[in-house]
């Protein structure tokens, strides 16, 4: 039988230096991953990457970090090639990178539109492509999207719109990669207690989101906690191996779709 546990597996995580990506890296290390490659976008994140690397190595993991702007031509392919050269072919590939913009459609510029689709759509597509090429058979492929795929709300048109395409990429790849035993899924958290969320929100919007979910009063911040999302990700890339082509929307620590 195929071993779907995390023990002994090799992992690649984009955006793995900080926030949710770093927590997922540490969580998989704690559950037995053998080797983990983390990616970070810019030199500004290098201190966080080094901190995460130190934690992974302290857990006994063979850990490496790569800096790259994944919107550049060939950058995603190079990231996978560098990962294979450093720690071997991955068994698990997780893409957590993304960018959010909260702005009315009438005020959105062409440059903003292009930037949103470059990071949220183009990077995700080529991550899924390269994962299909480089993952070991029976591998796990997971991409972060957003719970806004199941919501109806203004001002996030480019964010939700650019992530919506990834839902179809996920379904298509699940059909194309299934013959090799590779599962392909996406997970869409709600507003998370990270700098990724706060950078776009006015104080009154923050206050609203912290009270909007039915379970908000039972959460530490009222928002989705990254500590609540990491176990979902661990499940999907291990015990949930039979799931494929799915988008799981999670908000406030409970599943909404």
As to burial, measured by CB atoms within 10 angstroms (0-12 exposed, 13-18 middle, 19+ buried), residue 109 is: exposed
Q: What average pLDDT does the structure give for the chain?
A: 90
14 neighbors 36 (Cβ within 8 angstroms): no
Query: Is residue 201 predicted with pLDDT exceeding 80?
Result: no
Query: Is residue 51 predicted with pLDDT exceeding 70?
Result: yes
pLDDT at res. 150: 82
Query: Is residue 82 predicted with pLDDT exceeding 80?
Result: yes
Query: Is residue 217 predicted with pLDDT exceeding 80?
Result: no
pLDDT at res. 192: 61
Does 3.40.50.150 match the CATH number of domain 10-255? no
Q: Is 109 left (phi over 0), alpha (psi -120 to 50) or beta?
A: beta
Average pLDDT over residues 57-63: 98
pLDDT at res. 256: 39
Higher-confidence position of 152 and 100: 100
Query: Is residue 257 predicted with pLDDT exceeding 50?
Result: no
- pTM, rounded to two decimals: 0.91
Per-residue tokens: 170: 């996920």
Average pLDDT over residues 63-81: 98
Higher-confidence position of 256 and 57: 57
DSSP SS3 for 255: strand
**Distance in angstroms (rounded) separating the CA atoms of residues 35 and 30:** 12
pLDDT at res. 151: 76
Confidence of residue 254 (pLDDT cuts 50, 70, 90): very low
Lowest mean pLDDT among 156-165, 193-202, 244-253: 193-202
**Distance in angstroms (rounded) separating the CA atoms of residues 140 and 178:** 11
> In the β-sheet with 254-255, what is the strand arrangement from edge to edge?
62-67, 35-40, 10-14, 92-95, 140-144, 183-189, 246-251, 254-255
pLDDT, one tens digit per residue, over 96-147 is: 999 999 999 999 999 999 999 999 999 999 999 999 999 999 999 999 999 8
Q: Where are the domains of the chain?
A: 10-255
**Distance in angstroms (rounded) separating the CA atoms of residues 239 and 140:** 11
Report phi then psi at 162, rounded to 5. -75, -25
Question: What one-character DSSP code corresponds to residue 69?
Answer: -
The DSSP bridge partners found for residue 13 are 38, 94
Residues 6+ apart with CB under 8 A from 114: none
**Distance in angstroms (rounded) separating the CA atoms of residues 87 and 28:** 16
Per-residue tokens: 210: 């912290």
**Distance in angstroms (rounded) separating the CA atoms of residues 100 and 114:** 13
């Amino acid at each position: 039988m195929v071993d779907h546990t995390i023990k002994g597996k090799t992992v690649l995580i984009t955006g793995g230096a900080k926030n949710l990506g770093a927590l997922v890296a540490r969580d998989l290390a704690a559950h037995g991953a053998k080797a983990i490659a983390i990616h970070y976008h810019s030199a500004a994140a290098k201190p966080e990457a080094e901190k995460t690397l130190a934690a992974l190595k302290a857990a006994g993991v063979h850990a490496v970090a790569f800096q790259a702007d994944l919107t550049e031509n060939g950058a995603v392919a190079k990231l996978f090639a560098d990962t294979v050269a450093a720690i071997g072919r991955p068994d698990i590939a997780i893409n957590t990178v993304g960018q959010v913009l909260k702005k009315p459609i009438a005020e959105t510029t062409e440059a903003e539109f292009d930037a949103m689709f470059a990071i949220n759509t183009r990077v995700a597509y080529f991550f899924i492509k390269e994962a299909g090429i480089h993952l070991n058979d029976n591998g796990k492929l997971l991409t972060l999207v957003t719970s806004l795929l199941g919501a109806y709300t203004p001002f996030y048109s480019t964010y939700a719109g650019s992530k919506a395409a990834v839902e179809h990429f996920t379904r298509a790849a699940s059909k194309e990669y299934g013959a090799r035993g590779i599962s392909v899924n996406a997970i869409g958290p709600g507003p998370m207690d990270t700098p990724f969320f706060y950078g776009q929100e006015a104080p009154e919007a923050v206050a609203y989101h912290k009270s909007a979910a039915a379970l908000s009063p039972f959460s530490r911040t009222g928002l989705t906690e990254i500590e609540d999302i990491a176990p979902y990700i661990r499940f999907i890339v291990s015990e949930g191996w039979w799931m494929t082509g799915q988008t799981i929307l999670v908000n406030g620590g409970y599943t909404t779709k």
